[in-house]
């Protein structure tokens, strides 16, 4: 069994943490927008596979601070992709 590394989703498009290439979403749960996604690097040599999770704590922090509504909106737009 291979243990997969978990990374937090950011406001940037997801890229491979190893080589920086674009990634393919292998598995996601559309009914649960905040649930972890499994990504695989599209680079044919690298093919690094990892889990990406929504940073829920940061999400709430933005709400409490109230000054970064724009960041919130961007995250929600990403989830609808």
Residues in touch with Zn ion (CB under 5 A): 16, 18-19, 21, 41, 43, 46, 48
- 46 touches 18 (CB < 8 A): yes
Question: In whole angstroms, how close is the CB of 4 to Zn ion at the nearest point?
Answer: 14
Task: Give whichever of 40 and 79 is closer to Zn ion, judged by the CB atom.
Answer: 40
Question: In whole angstroms, how close is the CB of 77 to Zn ion at the nearest point?
Answer: 25
Task: Give whichever of 43 and 55 is closer to Zn ion, judged by the CB atom.
Answer: 43
Question: In whole angstroms, how close is the CB of 30 to Zn ion at the nearest point?
Answer: 25
Task: Give whichever of 44 and 64 is closer to Zn ion, judged by the CB atom.
Answer: 44
């Amino acid at each position: 069994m291979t243990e997969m590394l978990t990374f937090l989703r950011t406001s940037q498009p997801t890229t491979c943490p190893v080589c920086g290439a674009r990634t393919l979403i292998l598995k996601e749960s559309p009914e649960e927008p905040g649930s972890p996604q499994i990504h695989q690097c599209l680079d044919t040599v690298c093919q690094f596979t990892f889990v990406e999770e929504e940073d829920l704590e940061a999400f709430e922090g933005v709400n409490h601070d109230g000054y970064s509504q724009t960041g919130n909106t961007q995250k929600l737009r990403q989830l609808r992709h």
